[in-house]
Every structure is written in structure tokens, then in C-alpha cells.
């Protein structure tokens, strides 16, 4: 088996083009949609946070006080602190676009950015506790 | 002679496993930004790939299972499941490619598809464990990441091939 073949180039270019197209389509369809952050604990929606408030604040959810979130002035949310080992949630950085999500799997907490309009799709069909 | 070849294979599997552990520790300490929830770059998956190329499907599956057990012990059940799903998805896709196309494939393209399917396998596992979490937004990132890591591991593989050939496994 050879290391590289000329026929690899179109395949790789195809993969890159598909990702570029998906990304472009995604950006165009969701760019200026007002968003909220939905926070899930154990796959249940526990809190919905407004994101376009131009405020900076830190908060926790009562179901999992070991995890601290932070709202940023640019309308994004991030994990600030967590007691988990790998801290993937914190390394996920700031989230602000629809569909972006981050999770602290050891603590069963996840955040997902969704559209503000509740009736728009199935994103918010879970009852808030 | 047959026995000594088997011993070489077992030893080589052990070596690959050791390297996989080192790589996963290195990846954790590198602080690479997270691509998608629960999904990591999967540098350690390189070793599974090498096992598939040099030792065959059985050893690759064994290595994926060992890796999953290691993740289970050190990082918990979820990490173990993710590791296993990524490893299995990548072995499955690479083995299918090799079975159908064989010599017509190149190491580079098999490696890239292995890396992509490793990412997708983990993403699928995340979406099963945490329903509704996974969105299309991660797909382009994971595809590009797969191409980059796949190409990088293929280059590493190229340097490794002469050394492995001296072991006389094939």
C-alpha cells in the first residue's frame, strides 16, 4: 500500500469543501438570531439564561453547585469553575452561536445555545422545573 | 518461528498501548481547545490505527478495548464509553476501507477516514448519552480536525513503517 496517491487530493478537497459549505450555511442561517443558553442537568432542562444582556455575572445551578458559569459582556456564556478532573467544559470556551454546546460530563451538566423563540422548534419542549 | 512471531505481536501490542497512554496524557496536558462536547482530538487513536495496519483487526480491537479500560479507570465511565465508541467506529471504517479497496487506498486516506470516524463515533456516543446535545455545528469542525489529525498521524506512520518492517511481522 502506498503512502499517498494523487486520487487522494479530490477526496480530501471534497471533505474540506463539505465542511466549509456546512459551516457557511450554518453561519448564514443563524447569524443574528437572538439566543438563550439552556442549561441541562442529567439531560433535564433546568435553567434558561438570556444572553444578550450586556452583563457580566457568575452563577451556579442548584442541582450541581460544584460548577460555576459565567456570562460575558459579548453575550456569551462559559464554564468558569468545575471540580472535575479534565476540565473539558472550561476549555470549551465561550459559547454564543446557536447549536454550540459544552458539557461537563463528570458533573452531568451541559449548556446548549438555542434560539430565543420557544415555539420555533423542538429545542425547548422540556418543561422547566 | 511461528511462536516467536506471536510473541513479537503481543509485545508490539503492549508497546502501542503504552504509547497510547502517553499520548492521551500528553493530549490532556496540552490544553487543546475542545472541539465538541466530550470529543477530544484522539491522538491516542493513532496507536489503534497502527495496530490495524501492522498487526490486524484482532489486535486493533484489543488495543481499543484496553484504551477504553484505561479511560474507564482514570477518567470514569463516560470517558470509557466514549473511548470505546471512537475506537470501534474508527476500526470499523478503516477495516471496511481496507477490505473493499485494499491496495488501491493510500495510508493517508485511510488514516484521515479513521480520524474522522473516531471523532464521529465519539460525537454519536455523546448524543446518545446526552440527548439533544449534539448539533450540526460541530460537524464541520470535526471533519476538518479529522483531516488534520489523520494527515499528521499518516506522516508519523510513514516514519514508523521501516522500523516495523524490520520486526518481520508481515
Query: Considering the domain boundaries, does residue A102 fall inside one?
Result: yes
How many residues make up chain A in this entry? 129
Contacts of residue B103 in chain A, CB cutoff 8 Å?
Answer: 1
Do A55 and A112 fall within a single domain?
A: yes
Return the pLDDT at A128.
Answer: 47
Residue A66 is given by DSSP the state E
Q: Are residues A17 and A61 in the same domain?
A: no
Same domain, A41 and A71: yes
| pLDDT tens for each residue of chain A, 129 residues long | 788 888 888 999 999 999 899 888 877 776 667 778 888 888 788 888 887 767 788 888 888 888 888 888 888 888 888 887 767 778 777 887 777 778 887 788 888 888 776 544 444 444 444
ipTM attached to this prediction:
0.73
> Do residue A49 and residue A98 come from a single domain?
yes
Residue A50 lies in a domain: yes
Instruction: Give the domain range for residue A65.
Output: 34-124
Give CA–CA dist A113/A128, Å, rounded: 16
Handedness of CA B119, B86, B73, A63 (dihedral sign): positive
Q: Give the closest-approach CA distance of B23 to chain A in angstroms.
A: 15
- Cβ distance of A12 and B134 shorter than 8 Å: no
CA dist B92 → A91, B3, B84 (Å): 30, 28, 12
Q: Looking at B30-106, list the stretches that DSSP marks H as alpha helix, in order from N- to C-terminal side.
A: 45-54, 57-75, 77-101
The answer to whether position A129 is within a domain reads no
Q: How many other CB atoms are there within 10 angstroms of residue B21's CB atom?
A: 17
Helix (H, G, I), strand (E, B) or coil at B154: helix
**DSSP H or E run through B145:** helix B138-165
What does the pLDDT look like over A25-54, one tens digit per residue? Answer: 877 776 667 778 888 888 788 888 887 767
Same domain, A25 and A40: no
Closest Cα of chain B to A56: distance in Å?
23
Identity of the residue in A1, A91, A100 whose CB atom sits nearest the CB atom of B31: A91
Residues belonging to chain B: 170
Which of A99, A103, A106 lies closest to B136 in CB terms? A99
Closest CA to B82 of B127, B48, B137: B127
Q: Is the pLDDT higher at B92 or at A71?
A: B92
Q: Which residues of A touch B32 (CB under 8 A)?
A: 91
Kindly state the percentage of chain A with pLDDT values over 90.
6
State whether A99 and B34 contact (CB < 8 Å). Answer: no
**Domain total in chain A:** 2
Phi-psi group of B69: left, alpha or beta (phi > 0 → left; psi -120 to 50 → alpha; rest → beta)? alpha
pLDDT of residue B1: 53
Give the CATH number for residue A120. 2.60.320.10
Spell out the domain ranges in chain B: 2-165
Domain membership flag for residue A77: yes
Q: Are residue A53 and residue A105 in the same domain, yes or no?
A: yes
CA angle B21, B23, B26 (to 5 degrees): 110
The domain over range B2-165 is classified in CATH as 2.60.40.1930: no
- Tell whether A26 is covered by a domain: yes
| B35-87 confidence digits (pLDDT tens) | 665 566 667 777 888 888 888 899 999 999 999 999 899 878 888 888 899 89
Report yes or no on A51 lying in a domain. yes
Amino acid at each position: 500500500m502506498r503512502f499517498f496517491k494523487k486520487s487522494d487530493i479530490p477526496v480530501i478537497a471534497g471533505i474540506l469543501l463539505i465542511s466549509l459549505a456546512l459551516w457557511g450555511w450554518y453561519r448564514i442561517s443563524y447569524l443574528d438570531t437572538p439566543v438563550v443558553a439552556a442549561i441541562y442537568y442529567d439531560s433535564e432542562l433546568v435553567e434558561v439564561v438570556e444572553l444578550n444582556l450586556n452583563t457580566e455575572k457568575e452563577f451556579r445551578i442548584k442541582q450541581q453547585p460544584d460548577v460555576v458559569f459565567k456570562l460575558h459582556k459579548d453575550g456569551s456564556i462559559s464554564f468558569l469553575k468545575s471540580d472535575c478532573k479534565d476540565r473539558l467544559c472550561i476549555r470549551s470556551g465561550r459559547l454564543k452561536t446557536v447549536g454550540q454546546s459544552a458539557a461537563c460530563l463528570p458533573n452531568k451538566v451541559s449548556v446548549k445555545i438555542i434560539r430565543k423563540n420557544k415555539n420555533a422548534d423542538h429545542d425547548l419542549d422540556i418543561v422547566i422545573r | 518461528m511461528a511462536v516467536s512471531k506471536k510473541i513479537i505481536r503481543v509485545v508490539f501490542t503492549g508497546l502501542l498501548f503504552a504509547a497510547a497512554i502517553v499520548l492521551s496524557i500528553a493530549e490532556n496536558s496540552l490544553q487543546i481547545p475542545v472541539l465538541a462536547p466530550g470529543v477530544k482530538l484522539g491522538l491516542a487513536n493513532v496507536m489503534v490505527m497502527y495496530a490495524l495496519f501492522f498487526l490486524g483487526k484482532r489486535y486493533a480491537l484489543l488495543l481499543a478495548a484496553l484504551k477504553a479500560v484505561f479511560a474507564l479507570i482514570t477518567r470514569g465511565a463516560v470517558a470509557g464509553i466514549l473511548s470505546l465508541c471512537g475506537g470501534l467506529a474508527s476500526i470499523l471504517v478503516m477495516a471496511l476501507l481496507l477490505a473493499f479497496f485494499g491496495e488501491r487506498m493510500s495510508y493517508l486516506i485511510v488514516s484521515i477516514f479513521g480520524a474522522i470516524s473516531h471523532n464521529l463515533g465519539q460525537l454519536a456516543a455523546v448524543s446518545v448519552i446526552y440527548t439533544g446535545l449534539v448539533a450540526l455545528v460541530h460537524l464541520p469542525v470535526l471533519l476538518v480536525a479529522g483531516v488534520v489529525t489523520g494527515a499528521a498521524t499518516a506522516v508519523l506512520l510513514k516514519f514508523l513503517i521501516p522500523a516495523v518492517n524490520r520486526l518481520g511481522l508481515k
